[in-house]
Amino acid sequence: MSSKASAKPTVKSTASAKSTTTAKATTSAKPTAKASATATKKKVVYKPRPRKKVSVSPSPSAVWPPKGYVKSDDIYARVPTSKELIGLASSNKTLTNNLAACENLTCGAILATSLAGCNWWEFTGDVIGPISDTDRTIIKYGTLTSLFGSSKPKVIQPFIMVSEEPVKNGFVVSNIKMACHRDSAPTELKIPSNTYVKNN
């Protein structure tokens, strides 16, 4: 069944019940030519400063349905801005690697989520661009299919579709369609993956 849319170490401190320290000082009854002096050291008691109590507020619940997203069935999706992707990549290694690939290859980006979650995602799109620098007529260069793993319900995830088409002015991945699959992925499929079929 699928839904489609276009678009802690513990330190123990132990002490015995009795802890005694004895020091003996003796002086002879007879006076001696030597003067003796004793010095006593004051025991230093360390008193830790009381810790300040920090109240932690729970994270606010995500707004649902997400604003600004296009809905189809129970899937919500939209195209992110470059600034949004850079911000998300700061805490997402996979996204960082994908964006690095997009410095040289034409890519498509989608933010998507599903009300019930997905076992795996399938995205398809067309790679289009102008014929040449002088002829700006837009043509289709190929078809891109991208597969991704599971996602939890109501969790927005970034998906990057990476083609094999070199980055050129005016080249984009358009007409993106997606499917949220709730059945198990076929064993022959590689997830994640990008498959690009270039037009003849």
pLDDT per residue as tens digits for the range 110-131:
999 999 999 999 999 999 999 9
High-pLDDT (> 70) share of the chain, % = 69
User: Rounded distance, CA 124 to CA 167, Å?
Assistant: 19
User: Rounded distance, CA 111 to CA 113, Å?
Assistant: 7
Instruction: Reply yes or no on whether the pLDDT at 89 is more than 80.
Output: yes
Instruction: Reply yes or no on whether the pLDDT at 82 is more than 80.
Output: yes
Q: Which amino acid is at 166?
A: P
Task: Give CA separation, 120 vs 27, 40, 71, 125, 191, in Å.
Answer: 88, 75, 18, 17, 8
pLDDT per residue as tens digits for the range 27-67:
444 444 454 445 555 666 656 666 656 555 555 556 888 99
